[in-house]
Amino acid sequence: MRIIAAIDILEGKCVRLTRGDFQTTKVYSEDPLEVAKEFADNGIRFVHVVDLDGAREKKIINYRILEKISTGTDLSIDFGGGIRTSDDISIAFSSGAGQVTAGSVAVSDPALVLSWLRAYGSKKIILGADCREGKISVNGWQDDSGEEVTAFIKRYASEGFSYVICTDVTRDGMLEGPSTELYKTVLGEIRINLIASGGISSMDDLERLSEAGCEGAIIGKAIYEGRIKLRQLRDLC
């Protein structure tokens, strides 16, 4: 299972939110590039970079920081937040993203997302399936689309998507464990590379996610709060 460290960017800083609520913003570093370098120095190879300003404004904003991380490290970057148009996705790739996550736009404009899949291929476009109580959440997790998460993933898998990041919004930033049972359910019905996100708080959580069949796990707050040490991840990687 791949270990993927999270870097969430808001107003140029590395931050974490709780359940996607901007009122809970906690700044961990003024310089996301330095955070990325520390991850790389500890053997981490993959990072999940989220443009929180972009998610809020519904357009890519922090592509300059993405470019700095890309040119300043050898990390493999998947990027999300604010991707709504073909121009947004083009900017993300030209700024150094190896993969781009399509979340809310996969609900609002499926035809556009499928055109990206055809243009860039299934290894470059990740489906973002953020959910709350089993329903897909959109617009920075503020709204409920009403669509059931497993059906949503199944629909896009049938169109050729091979990667999905599935985040349980209610667990994100809570350090209370991931939605392992949800992931087991999805993987029991759908053949797809599932990347778990939200709630990871310990090395035991990672072991359980690996046993469940997850292709990757995104770790954020647990690293920043010291619940999981970088040396532990270095040994694991």
In whole angstroms, give the CA distance from residue 75 to residue 36: 8
* Helices and strands in the chain: count of H runs, count of E runs: 11, 12
Catalytic residue, chosen from 8, 88, 168, 172, is 8
Residue 205 annotated among the catalytic residues of the structure: no
Q: Which residues pair with 27 in a beta bridge?
A: 15
d(CA 107, CA 91): 21
Considering the candidates 51, 88, 130, 172, report the single residue annotated as catalytic. 130
Q: Is 8 a catalytic residue?
A: yes
Report the sign of the C-alpha dihedral through residues 135, 140, 143, 147, in that order.
negative
CA-derived radius of gyration, the chain: 16
Q: How far apart are CA 139 and CA 105, in angstroms?
A: 9
Helix (H, G, I), strand (E, B) or coil at 232: helix
Please give the positions annotated as active site.
8, 130
